[in-house]
Structure 1
């Protein structure tokens, strides 16, 4: 008989995406079947007819060559039936052959001659399945349904990414809804969270405004997710971190429908300890997430559909410094996937999904026995919250998301050539607004110096900076794959990728005024208002193009070389639509090898080398190439009745007295393009080296070890060039020129590669009668060091495949990430202005900046597993252990005036150097999650459907490790320290205190029905 069950070898390959730590890729959305047909003696069976079919309308045929080899590329992910026939042999049929995203899996098919009588035929999978473009890529490929069925994880792709070796949660300041996640964005191999790229069904959905996160996708929509942590091939770019590449579910000939509910009740949610900024004892939160889906064939074997509707009810209540917020979110998500197969080898796909969402926020101000701020969480105590709530502030709304459409065509034109084309539109709206716009006022007076919370809010405003923006990406891709034999087997892919990006923005302070009340002289006498006004409005475009060539060359039967090159161009344009900075010919080599030394498919040695480039974010266009207006003024605070408090008008605006001269940070004029960047600007890019080893033993276990080295070769940041221009002017005879007076230290910010000489146009005229001057500024004049970031890691992995009863996956990473630059974003102050962070704004800000970076975790241990107690009951667990984050002390610079003017922004505290990572650290963080799943036998009770009841307990031991601390050690300005004085700033009494604990224990209850 022909047995449709798999041997252990085939089973290993069929579900290797669940536990594999090496992703092996074909393209963004499909996989490939590779194989060898042999007879019982091991001799190849040539000219055998091979038919592969699926219930999703796929029907592809091929004929084995003289070596018995077969290849069928560009197969949609899913389960397949394979039929093989040849004269003189019994026909062979294999069911449930799995094709996974990006995987080129190889199988050995053994046929019996008609002269033999056999009981069963086994189809055996061999480890040559990693032999294609991604044979040197590190990461994991996950069948989302399989991993979720056995592992207690949050229902978002970020949580899936965190299963991979070398990934860790980013700073909580960068929480986002990426891919449906409500937690932090992941850091890949030491890079910042603003350097990843996200794909769904072949389209890039990354947030191109600041690179943090991307569009939200309901978890139920995912079919498979590929997590690439390094070594990825030339078709992937615009990332110096990692790649999350997802494929959504599709319909088939069989009709299916289902529904589920996931509920996280407030009564099952513990609270974290209180901090000096958050009264966590008053936290409340609950979440109900529902999904209804259906799929099937509109025309059998031709046209298929999958539809999903995802209503949600998310509620939370949190108390912070000076206020409490109640937030609700109830907007549903929805998605539709259509697949059309007009003829064999051709497929049209259409994907539509919407992630429009509005968060409604109600805010109250604390009164608490006359105190208008928390100052210390103990002030709130455990009193009923209703006794602590004071003034109700204006309600606010936060709108995010949009509609997304993807059109894709794939065709197998012949056995040796396939093509694919994609067009997609990715839309993302962002808006925050209030019911009214009172002025943004704060009181900085305090009789208790050294308390960070001494600045408290005045008035009824709730949103400080009101913003409205639209982002739209138009994505074009074309790929062609060629397969031929010449001096070895070659798989060559050529392709192009173009993205037209458009962004608009409108931004201003609430009430068009941000004002801070303070004493005239330190903490002693007189009152004044420091006011700031900010306006920015306009539309901007960026065009990003790439061309790539990749050759997967099987030199020997046990050696494959991956040889690739990618050429990228980033064209950023100003508010008038003209190019203001363009970086061309960014050549990214991608080279790798994979070697099977024993030719048995059980051992693999692999390595790779590559360059990876990061674009300039569209947020940079808005800040540097628009008509941004930003200025500061000081006014006397009017106190007509002499009660020691300032006067306000009927609309809540301060009454101003005498005014000091206005200081402009940006004057509303569009900068001259050449004045915004170095004329010879080099790209932001990173080099990477990987060397690894894997061995499979007992057919079920795989051990892996790899070394990874990453080095940031070049970065792009904005810097102030004023000090260098002053020196240049003096050296070139312009020392008495009136134009020099505008270079006060903060006048001209320019995109440069720190540590290099710069040629830049100046925004003032030095003796040239209206002609803009060019200045050649040396690295010594500028005073900025080279940007540095290195990552070194050793990953150890151990996998035991699921055999129907249990599985185990464990990985340990030792790593070191250090330098003077975290990356595109800055965790210490939560700044997500990609490429415009504070790090290199002034030379003094780089003093003491070298050290362990925010995403450095020296030790990480991840263990997950599952055990089936019987056919109905199973348990799963997930363990994560992470070493502390090392922190420094951020305060005022004692000797550099320009850095000192930034306030607490330098690696000095109390006038002493306190380098990054040298002072304090967070706690060791360990979390154990547990799941219990019950699938009762229903018979005909619910129409032969499947019901699963489940309980997940996260952080079952309710560990409360500190995962973030206040890193700022100075508060207030010293009066004359940079000029040789001794008036040190007040120490911040909150320095080193916890600001965030790990998520406390909570429970998720769920019920899922599938038919």
Structure 2
């Protein structure tokens, strides 16, 4: 970090020097990034004495990369697109070094300021300073060249802090980051957005889950050099995100061969058991300590090695890790399943860096992330703790939980060329492939469930299936594409332009095990099936049975293209302006490669200002505003554009149920019902979405300051405001089409409701064949015709922080965030019911679902306090801590709508009504505050020359197990009280202790 304050060094450029780009974009409003840095590099800039023959020599001693940068007439210099690392900066005059600075850290996406004393004393109001001395583990206290909102953690910080070794564990250290609903795994919400609206990059290549946008391909933790988290205000180079951006740069080999090995072990015996869960309605115990403790043990083995194949020219770095864990899962109900699970994750990364010359660099990265689970399942009586016969097995590969890593193999090639002192070229091509495997025993058996109350649970028939559905064979996700960026310095302007093109393809979906499912029930006492519109049941039969078939398998593709321009303009010594414009195009295609939704000319202007108030980089005031777009994930096409089949049919049977699950003497009592019109016929691609479909986008505004008040101390605050302007979701209400047909004299041939992709709360235009004559009617429906309210999601926050930069002894940071996230849409997801169907959520399907939907969102945490840091007691001992305190999530009561709704679109207990009364979103109070303290200790014995480190981490020291989410369904589908309403669905992770041993060496 800086040992003293730095002076600014840029002079005012004349009005005529404003670039054509800045003139073209000057009227746009938006946000900014740090001095035109790419998503895998940084920069060094500053000022020195402008004497004849002066240059600045920048060199990374570990890799041999060096650049000589010219000094302009005002003594300014800048070297951009530098690989992250530690550099030496020297001022040379006529080939002789006259001043230098060592250990200058370059971080991803940031600009490090290195000004030399002679120049610092010449600026207006400047102080006589002695330049910059930056330690390798820190960044400058204040970067006056950036106006975005980011958190950067380097490898040393990640190693020292007491937290799980995962990418998202580090993301949660960023202000405003919160854990998403537990049903989405370990996903994170940033800035009030849903957890499916973030973008993840590794060495510049996007690795976000292409099917749902939730989660990303991961990598060995010891291969991470720096992890950068943008929570707002990122520049025009970044797009396709309305949440945040997580940018990871991996380690690379150096001239010194270095390696290491690590073992982490979490014993089950030192992991606390999750607290008991009781059903609120009758007090029945669902889970608890009095049965087997379903504890998980976990072991991680990791290793890395890197060095120079040819000194200063060719380098290699490789890392690998294997994680294995075992646990069992069950509930305490009478008729359940006990599953013994073995989980394995294998990851590797290999990177080759070739410095062809000092001006031409090639990077090749390959990584693999494979997760597999094998589960043995048994019929289990949890109440009496009796395990019955073996039910079957399930083997999954790269399926993952909703928010976990989806796995995959990634290969990236990147070229950086310093063509001249002022022109840099950055080109990348990459490809990712993820194969999904889900195999179960009995997948060819007829699926059935015995739900008869007249039969004791222990005597109910058990099918040979593990799951009602089987995954699509050959399922995969694939991303491939490229980007090209040009950076040019023109006087006081740093210009950057770029284009990218990515194709994202998915084959996914599921089918009914055995082709058909049967659900058996006793004859209803009322004589009617209420959920089917009081369908009458003929008397004199053994019981009723529902026939069920669901098949949704499809291939889909998204074409994503973008172009951007940006200008960082040093207006005066103290004022930096940023103007950027991004243009994006999205096309969604079905299995026949036909476009069914597209958005063109999605212009995203971005503007920012940074004011170096004192002229010495000790106080910065900054502001930015911007627009951000989001692409529709592939899940939409798999669900809605590939000919889904969803049929149900009620009937009666006579006699004992056949052992293979088929009903004896099956007699249907109704015609086949196709839910939402899903009869297996691929829809006309012209009819799937509205013709005037607008993009999903939001606007954001930020105002903040950073202040350095001592050599190692900084504090600051910022206010943020986000407003969702337009969303995309599906709508499944045929009533407006029935009315339109009647008004226009059109015979509506098939009034069964189908679903269409629309902009909720806006007018939409459709092309649909209503009368079955083969011609598409041009149907314009206004906002009032459709009946949906305007989509709303607003987020505002105040973030304040106090930070002590690492001084060789200790590092610490304290953050406080006050925020509100409210509206009638969470975004791509619906955490109220844990629905993972991005852009095809239950919301917006018809207008009654949106009554009472406006209020605090599921990701709203009004107050958040973070504190983390570490203290180096001596060279042998280090202690660390991590504290998180936050207020609870809003609670809802979801039930049956009291008015009339056509039975084909009546969703039962899905409305913001309970007991016939409105229960608006968030009106039922909040869950309790959560408190978590993690502690760590590391010991590096001197006899091993500090190369050997033993560690112990205690997560959740006080074993706080506060409820994180609950069942929010206050009623059953029939309107009766739900006994499970407010039943906890997840708690804080119980206390556990992880032990580690690590050995690092040099060759």
Corresponding position of 2:66: 59
Query: Over residues 104-126 of structure 1, what are the superposed CA-to-partner deviations in whole Å (9 max), with x where a residue is unaligned?
Result: 111123479xxxxxxx9764569
- Among 80, 102, 125, the alignment partner of 1:73 is 80
Are 1:329 and 1:358, in contact at CA under 8 Å, matched by a contact in 2?
yes
Provide the C-alpha distance between the structure 2 equivalents of 1:87 and 1:853, rounded to a whole number of angstroms.
63
- Among 187, 211, 217, the alignment partner of 1:215 is 217
Query: Over residues 864-884 of structure 1, what are the superposed CA-to-partner deviations in whole Å (9 max), with x where a residue is unaligned?
Result: 122222221111111000101
Is residue 490 of structure 1 aligned with residue 498 of structure 2? Answer: no
Provide the C-alpha distance between the structure 1 equivalents of 2:461 and 2:587, rounded to a whole number of angstroms.
42
Q: Which structure 2 residues correspond to residues 575-654 of structure 1 after superposition, within 5 A?
A: 575-638=591-654, 640=655, 646-649=656-659, 651-654=660-663
User: Aligned to 1:590, what secondary structure does the other structure show?
Assistant: strand
Is residue 130 of structure 1 aligned with residue 143 of structure 2? Answer: yes
Q: Which structure 2 residues correspond to residues 23-62 of structure 1 after superposition, within 5 A?
A: 26-38=37-49, 47-62=54-69
Listed as ranges, the gaps of 5+ residues in structure 2 are: 7-31, 120-128, 280-285, 399-406, 528-538
- Among 231, 244, 256, the alignment partner of 2:246 is 244
- Among 73, 83, 90, the alignment partner of 1:83 is 90
Query: Over residues 478-537 of structure 1, what are the superposed CA-to-partner deviations in whole Å (9 max), with x where a residue is unaligned?
Result: 00001111xxx1111100111011111252022222332234436778621112212233
Is residue 992 of structure 1 aligned with residue 982 of structure 2? Answer: yes
Q: Which structure 2 residues correspond to residues 231-380 of structure 1 after superposition, within 5 A?
A: 231-276=233-278, 279-281=287-289, 282-320=293-331, 322-368=336-382, 379=383
Is residue 919 of structure 1 aligned with residue 924 of structure 2? Answer: yes
Corresponding position of 2:502: 499
Name the stretch that deviates more: 880-889 or 66-75.
66-75
Shift of 1:367: 2.4
> Do the aligned partners of residues 157 and 88 (structure 1) sit closer, same or farther apart at CA in structure 2, a change above 3 Å counting?
closer
User: Aligned to 1:887, what secondary structure does the other structure show?
Assistant: coil
Shift of 1:910: 2.1
Are 1:30 and 1:75, in contact at CA under 8 Å, matched by a contact in 2?
yes
How large is the Cα RMSD of the aligned pairs? 2.6
Provide the C-alpha distance between the structure 1 equivalents of 2:902 and 2:702, rounded to a whole number of angstroms.
41
Provide the C-alpha distance between the structure 2 equivalents of 1:696 and 1:661, rounded to a whole number of angstroms.
74
> Do the aligned partners of residues 727 and 1005 (structure 1) sit closer, same or farther apart at CA in structure 2, a change above 3 Å counting?
same
Are 2:53 and 2:94, in contact at CA under 8 Å, matched by a contact in 1?
no
Provide the C-alpha distance between the structure 2 equivalents of 1:655 and 1:95, rounded to a whole number of angstroms.
84
Corresponding position of 2:15: none
Aligned length: 923
Provide the C-alpha distance between the structure 1 equivalents of 2:467 and 2:273, rounded to a whole number of angstroms.
26
Provide the C-alpha distance between the structure 2 equivalents of 1:588 and 1:255, rounded to a whole number of angstroms.
45
Shift of 1:989: 1.5
> Do the aligned partners of residues 547 and 563 (structure 1) sit closer, same or farther apart at CA in structure 2, a change above 3 Å counting?
same
Is residue 154 of structure 1 aligned with residue 154 of structure 2? Answer: no
Provide the C-alpha distance between the structure 2 equivalents of 1:48 and 1:128, rounded to a whole number of angstroms.
26
Are 1:672 and 1:763, in contact at CA under 8 Å, matched by a contact in 2?
no
Query: Over residues 680-717 of structure 1, what are the superposed CA-to-partner deviations in whole Å (9 max), with x where a residue is unaligned?
Result: 11111001011111111012111111111100000111
Corresponding position of 1:655: 664
Provide the C-alpha distance between the structure 2 equivalents of 1:497 and 1:1007, rounded to a whole number of angstroms.
43
- Among 552, 559, 568, the alignment partner of 1:552 is 568
Provide the C-alpha distance between the structure 2 equivalents of 1:670 and 1:807, rounded to a whole number of angstroms.
59
User: Aligned to 2:874, what secondary structure does the other structure show?
Assistant: coil
Name the stretch that deviates more: 680-689 or 67-76.
67-76
Query: Over residues 194-217 of structure 1, what are the superposed CA-to-partner deviations in whole Å (9 max), with x where a residue is unaligned?
Result: 100000000000111111111122
Q: Tell me the TM-score normalized by structure 1.
A: 0.88
Are 1:276 and 1:995, in contact at CA under 8 Å, matched by a contact in 2?
no
> Do the aligned partners of residues 611 and 123 (structure 1) sit closer, same or farther apart at CA in structure 2, a change above 3 Å counting?
closer
Corresponding position of 2:804: 800
Is residue 842 of structure 1 aligned with residue 858 of structure 2? Answer: no
Shift of 1:333: 1.5
- Among 745, 749, 755, the alignment partner of 2:755 is 749
Are 1:23 and 1:139, in contact at CA under 8 Å, matched by a contact in 2?
no
- Among 742, 751, 775, the alignment partner of 1:771 is 775
> Do the aligned partners of residues 898 and 391 (structure 1) sit closer, same or farther apart at CA in structure 2, a change above 3 Å counting?
farther
Provide the C-alpha distance between the structure 1 equivalents of 2:524 and 2:709, rounded to a whole number of angstroms.
74
Q: Which structure 2 residues correspond to residues 377-416 of structure 1 after superposition, within 5 A?
A: 379=383, 387-400=385-398, 401-416=407-422
Q: Which structure 2 residues correspond to residues 957-976 of structure 1 after superposition, within 5 A?
A: 957-973=958-974
Corresponding position of 1:873: 877
> Do the aligned partners of residues 435 and 750 (structure 1) sit closer, same or farther apart at CA in structure 2, a change above 3 Å counting?
same
- Among 169, 172, 175, the alignment partner of 2:182 is 172
Are 1:708 and 1:793, in contact at CA under 8 Å, matched by a contact in 2?
yes
Provide the C-alpha distance between the structure 2 equivalents of 1:141 and 1:296, rounded to a whole number of angstroms.
25
Q: Tell me the TM-score normalized by structure 2.
A: 0.88
Shift of 1:25: 6.6
> Do the aligned partners of residues 318 and 523 (structure 1) sit closer, same or farther apart at CA in structure 2, a change above 3 Å counting?
farther
User: Aligned to 1:356, what secondary structure does the other structure show?
Assistant: strand
Provide the C-alpha distance between the structure 2 equivalents of 1:483 and 1:80, rounded to a whole number of angstroms.
22
Query: Over residues 709-764 of structure 1, what are the superposed CA-to-partner deviations in whole Å (9 max), with x where a residue is unaligned?
Result: 10000011100130111111222234xx3x35x324xx221111111122112243
Corresponding position of 2:17: none
> Do the aligned partners of residues 226 and 49 (structure 1) sit closer, same or farther apart at CA in structure 2, a change above 3 Å counting?
closer
Shift of 1:22: 10
Corresponding position of 1:508: 511
